[in-house]
Amino acid sequence: MDFSSPSSGSSSSASQPSPEVFMDQLKSQLAQAYAEEFLETVRGKCFTKCITKPGTSMSGSESSCVSRCVDRYIEATGIVSRALFSQQR
Closest by CA to 77, choosing from 49, 40, 38, is 38
Q: What angle do CA 39, 43, 47 make, to 5 degrees?
A: 170
30 binds another protein (CB under 8 A): yes
Rounded Cα distance between 26 and 18, Å, is 12
Return the residues of window 42-61 that contact another protein according to CB under 8 A: 45-46, 49-50
16 binds another protein (CB under 8 A): yes
Give residues in contact with another protein (CB under 8 A).
13, 16, 18-19, 22-23, 26-27, 30, 34, 37-38, 41, 45-46, 49-50, 65, 68-69, 71-73, 75-77, 79-85, 87
